[in-house]
Amino acid sequence: MDLVAAFTTALGLVAGFDAELLGIVRLSLLVSLSAVILAALVGLPLGAALALSRFPGRGAVVVLLNAFMGLPPVVVGLGVYILLSRAGPLGPLGLLFTPGAMILAQAVLVLPIIAALSRQVVADLWDEYGEQLRSLNARPWQVALTLLWDGRFSLVTAVLAGFGRAAAEVGAVMIVGGNIKGVTRTMTTAIALETSKGDLALALGLGLVLIAIIAAINGALFALGSWAKRSAG
């Protein structure tokens, strides 16, 4: 019965172009996409560097990075909260309970996923093309760029995995954003709120809308990817 009500609610929400819902969707996308872009800018080079460099303790760093893919969002949220709190080291920035804080928290959450997966992609490519690149006398940064470009289709999946994590999590944004109506309320925190009000149909309806949005984004990237592959021959 709740399932039927949820579908009806979801359809009503989408059809009605509810202004508040639109704001929430926009904020969710803004926060998660910004976090993923930020994490990719750091994570892709970091992953490539880790794949190509050799230093003592590298194995431990790789294991640690892989383990951080499983960082609990609440823990990340709490850590960022303590950093950004007025009483904390970054307090004067006044970022707590703003979208900026949420972007930071999600970027921290997503960074290990993108870095660890891209390290694997680049390491595999290095095994394949390492000899060739060595014989070309390429500089390390050139090697990294070449392999990142070669692995771009696999790396999109790594970035998408990061986006999925960011868009789905609630623990971190709840703590550092505070779920303030009209300011820091996202899809996931709104779902948590409606669940706690016992309005399960509305909560599930919002959940369906969220899943549809994530599916649409993945679909668009998939289409873009196949088009790029075709034109790349």
Partner 1 sequence: MLRRMVLAAALVLAFAPARAEDRFITIASTTSTEQSGLFNHLLPLFTQATGIGVRVVAVGTGQALKIGQQGDADALLVHDRAGEDKFVAEGSGFDRRDVMYNDFVMVGPKADPAKITGLKDATLAVSKIAAAKAPFASRGDDSGTHRAELRFWKAAGVDVKAAAGWYRELGQGMGPTLNTAAAMNAYVLADRGTWANFKNRQDLTIVVHGDKALFNPYGSILVDTKKRPADKAADAKIWHNWLTGLKGQAAIESFRINGEQVFFPQARQ
* Contacts to partner 1 by CB under 8 A: 23, 26-27, 29-30, 85-88, 91, 94, 96-97, 178-183, 193, 195-200
| Complex with partner 1: residue 40 or 116, whichever CB lies closer | 40
CB of 179 vs partner 1, minimal distance in Å: 7
d(CA 191, CA 179): 11
How far apart are the C-alpha atoms of 163 and 114, rounded to whole Å? 9
Q: Which is nearer to partner 1, 169 or 194 (CB)?
A: 194
Residue 72 gets the label, from left (phi > 0), alpha (psi -120 to 50) or beta, of: beta
CB of 18 to partner 1, least distance (A): 13
Closest distance between partner 1 and the C-beta of residue 178, in Å? 4
> Using CA atoms, how far apart are residues 159 and 175, in angstroms rounded to an integer?
24
CB of 119 to partner 1, least distance (A): 28
Q: How far is the CB of 86 from partner 1 (least distance, A)?
A: 4
> Closest CB to partner 1 among 136 and 223?
223
Task: Closer to partner 1 by CB, 146 or 189: give it.
Answer: 189
Residue 53: DSSP 8-state: -
Q: Per the structure block, which two tokens stand in for 150?
A: 């070669």
**Two tokens, residue 230:** 């075709």
Output the CA angle 54-55-59, nearest 5 degrees: 85
> CA 231, CA 17: separation in Å to the nearest integer?
37
Two structure tokens written together for 89: 């080291």
For partner 1, the closer CB: 120 or 179: 179
